[in-house]
Amino acid sequence: MAFDKKLFADICQEFTVTGEQLHEIAANFRYDLRKGLEDSAQSSLRMLKSYVGLPTGDEKGEYLALDFGGTNVRVLRIRLEGAGKFEVLKKVAKPLRVEGIYDFVGEGSTAEQMFDFIAELVDEAIEGDHTTHYLLGHTFSFPSEQTNLYNAKLIIWTKEFATAGVEGEVVNDLLKAALHRQGIDNVEPTAVINDTVAVLLAAAYKQPDTYIGSIYATGHNTCYLEPYADSADAPMILNLESGGFMKLAPNRFDVAFDEQSEKPGEQRLEKMVSGRYMGELFGMALAELLGEQGKKYGFTSIDMSNIVLAEDAAGVSKIVAAKTGHELATEDAESVRELVSKIIVRSARLVTASFVGIIWQLDSETKPRKQHIAVDGSVYEKMPLAKENIMRALSELLGEEAANIDTVLENGGSGLGAAIAAAMSQR
């Protein structure tokens, strides 16, 4: 069976962001940013305060870092050596869900079970040492309302997490109670930060001129250093929760997917761009082309990478056949590759529009300053077409001034950033 050509062209069109739309989205993002600074209720961006600015680069000492933001939880013991240097002394990691064995992220699980599991991992990282006093920095990568660096309340789960009893709670209190239950009273959680904030702290620890931090992975979000130029307030990093940006035109696949998601109506941008969702969107579109509308094939963003990188049409066909049971003709396999590319390119363009919205807001009167945008995450790092399309969209939006901006990979920033936050909590 060959794809219907008109249907294929229409679907590709639906996943295209034109130059004009790109400008409009960046301008709308900037508008929401400006509104959000006045009153977050008027903006689709949550603009959450982090109660931390940038590090000096001279932070020193040994800290624990808990990185909790996806299905893999990590605990690290890190020594900060100053001058932007550090050493990871110990690293332990475990998934929060192993299919058919245990699941701490589904509806059936409780906060206690989840945090007891995390406390056990902390115990592994300190090798059962219950005497040395450690400060712990906690990268908690979900929208949280903070009143200071310690106190962060989960507003709402994202990334399809559904564990009961965490929303509305102070996550460090849950962690502390779990540590106490296991006799680990020498570990003191002192700071909670979002993973975007961690990425920005980690990058700024190593090099100056970095004001924006972003995650482009399972989930998506960006933070920046708000200078509060016209007020007496000290500069502070704001977690935008940009995945919740709403001024976008979702296509029918975005809409249909959102309706079946854990949190319909939430995280519009994130559901159009991040790794957790791109495979699902691709699967929905492919189901239409295969005349099986509504069928779920379970494609992931890794399948999408493999499709783009496949040597030839037969390679694409093999990946598709493994999930759908359909053998594709050569022409259709090439069309599948084109569709996958469209979805990735759309994602990169939307993410870039949000970066440029921030850049415009930071330097509204002048040319954009020279700066690095720190990004971490598997989509940015590994997804073919992502990085090059970010650069392309930056040029499209900023023209020659794009030469002042580059994006840098801040690999592992979630752990390092948590240790830096713990160090900064002593100030």
- Site of interaction with ligand BGC (CB under 6 A): 69, 141-143, 158-159, 194-196, 215, 219-221, 241, 243, 270
Q: Look-up: residue for tokens 């850049």?
A: 359
Residue with Cβ nearer ligand BGC (84 or 143): 143
What's the full length of the chain, in residues? 427
Min separation Cβ 25 and ligand BGC, Å: 19
Nearer to ligand BGC, 84 or 415 (CB): 415
| Shortest CB 133 distance to ligand BGC, Å | 29
Q: Rounded to 5 degrees, what angle do the CA atoms 245, 246, 252 make?
A: 125
Which DSSP helix (H) or strand (E) runs through 16?
Answer: none
What is the DSSP pairing of strand 152-154 with strand 144-146?
antiparallel
Provide the minimum distance between the beta carbon of 197 and ligand BGC in the complex, in angstroms, as a whole number: 8
CB 337 within 8 A of CB 307: yes
Name which of 72 and 186 has its Cβ closer to ligand BGC.
72
Structure tokens at 358: 């921030």
Buried-exposed string 255-276: b where 16+ CB fall within 10 A, e elsewhere: ebbbeebeeeebbbbbbbbbbb
Residue with token string 């930056």 = 394
Cβ 173 to ligand BGC, closest distance in Å? 19
Q: In angstroms, rounded to a whole number, what is the distance separating the alpha carbons of residues 405 and 416? A: 24
Q: Closest distance between ligand BGC and the C-beta of residue 70, in Å?
A: 7
* Contact assessment for residue 119 and residue 172, using Cβ atoms and an 8 Å cutoff: no
C-beta separation of 80 from 61 below 8 A = yes
Considering the complex, state which of residue 210 and residue 242 has its C-beta at the smaller distance from ligand BGC: 242
Tell me if residue 223 falls in helix, strand or coil.
strand
Q: Which of 191, 339 has the CB closer to ligand BGC?
A: 191
Ramachandran category for residue 168: left, alpha or beta (phi over 0 → left; psi -120 to 50 → alpha): left
Which residue is nearest to ligand BGC, using beta carbons? Answer: 219
**Residue with smaller CB distance to ligand BGC, 55 or 219:** 219
Q: Quick one: 126 or 154, whose CB is closer to ligand BGC?
A: 154
Whether 185 and 179 have beta carbons less than 8 Å apart is answered as: yes
Q: How far is the CB of 241 from ligand BGC (least distance, A)?
A: 6
**Which residue from 299, 253, 193, 370 is spatially nearest to 11, judged by alpha carbons?**
253
d(CA 178, CA 172): 10
**Helical packing angle, 275-289 and 330-362, nearest 10°:** 140
Q: How far is the CB of 6 from ligand BGC (least distance, A)?
A: 36
Report, in Å, the least distance between residue 402 CB and ligand BGC.
25
* For ligand BGC, the closer CB: 46 or 342: 46
Which CB atom, from 195 or from 288, has the smaller least distance to ligand BGC?
Answer: 195
Question: Is 241 or 332 the residue whose CB approaches ligand BGC more closely?
Answer: 241
In angstroms, what is the minimal distance from the CB of 28 to ligand BGC? 20
CB of 383 to ligand BGC, least distance (A): 15
Alpha helices in 47-194 (DSSP H): 111-125, 171-181
Q: What is the Cα gyration radius of the chain?
A: 22
CA distance 420 to 364: 30
